[in-house]
Structure 1
Amino acid sequence: MIYFIGAGPGAADLITVRGQKLLEKADVVIWAGSLVNEELLENCRECAEIYNSAKMTLEEVLEVMKKAEKDGKTTVRLHTGDPSLYGAIREQMDQLEKLGIKYESVPGVSSFCGAAASLNLEYTLPNVSQSVIITRLAGRTDVPEKESLRSLAQHNATLVLFLSSGMCEKVQAELLDAGISPQTPAALVYKATWADEKKVLCTVGSLADSAKANGISKTALIIVGDVVSHTNYERSKLYDPTFTTEFRESSK
């Protein structure tokens, strides 16, 4: 069996209980060494075979999986955050299906959740924003034209950008061209939940300068929207005494 496990955003204790238990039992571990906290490997058995996928191709990863399966071993494929976001897991799963190898996914805490926790931020503030768009800027790898940052920004939803902090000048230009006000609140969160985490609050107009001033050029999320300032929001109806719910009658 192959287990695709989300390692969480960074802090070693943010892996799920299920993920940690499977990691402790694994015979073979293939981990994303450029992104996953190495402290998590302390949970592995001493006899476990450890492979760093940062130095491997898809074909090499699959060879390790095939050999482990042939030898009757359990493999953990340890991805950063939650594997469903920019994890390149589907291409692995498709090949495993062709080979008749069983696999299972174990969700993890994504870095966009870790960043929100670090900023004490709520993405869905009443009357401010009820939608979150998770995307990235086109770089060495394209995105569909209909999903260009300029196009998505026009929805005025909260934006969370992965894999884009090395292109902050272009991000800023795309947002401004989309009609986003330069005064719109923004944040850069470098290595969310890691020991060396760095949080920078800024605006769309100062995004590029803020990244440069703080030496942020990779491994950071960009969050854009009024939720960053968490002001001018309405009270939630869920806990409003004048609002009736399935479990509580209105007091008025």
Structure 2
Amino acid sequence: MKGKILGFDEATGKGAISADDGTRHKFDRADWRGGDKAPAPGLVVDFESENGGAREIYPVGGSAMAALGTIGADLGALTESEQGARIAALMTRSLAVPLALLVLLACFLSALTSPVQSATLIGLGNAMDDLGRVAAAQEMLGGGKSGFDTVQTLLILRFAAPLTALWLIWAAWSGKSERLPMLVTGAASIVAALMVVMLRSAILSMVPDFVRDRMADGISLGIGTWLLLLAGAALIAAGLGKLRNPLAKD
């Protein structure tokens, strides 16, 4: 017979199955043939009916289906736990944590792209070293200053975005006021994105005029930069009370 597991109690080792014909069958853990993981509610199983009970219970689809079922059970248990409920509240109560996580994600996505390579916001240091040598060589050849040194110094501000995002998550988790961390994280994210824009302009200023337009087409802002701008603006709007989480309960 086939059916679905209605529930299973780890403490007693007993559970129940609702068969496709509408009958209900109780079973013991000893009759489970799905491996070490406990039977998960909603999992489709094949079993033998004997005296109103279920024996030789196998998950339909083998171990993969059993794994999916147990993952669902584990997630269900997590959301019902105190910590799980707290995490769910952080994601739905306001936009602080979702947007802070978006800022952290943006820091590890491509910030600046070119046909040769792309660099994340965090990984711009290596690219800066290479470009610094090019700028120094250009200055030695009489090419003049490109403003690259200034941008290189200011680019240290890019680390403010992930650091303030972590501060915002900590404030939300600790139950502290989120308004100031949201405003600061929003501003830091926008500043970090603008630093990437300034870096792109500095790079283009280092190349001869006759190839600058072609270079401008090849060097573009990556998705990480655009996400920083978007998340930064949203954080400031949320911090000012102009934007709220659509999942928040009134």
Bucket of the pairwise TM-score, normalised by the shorter protein = under 0.3
TM-score (norm 2): 0.24
TM-score (norm 1): 0.24
- Asked which structure has the greater CA Rg, the reply is 2
Structure (1 or 2) with the greater helix fraction: 2
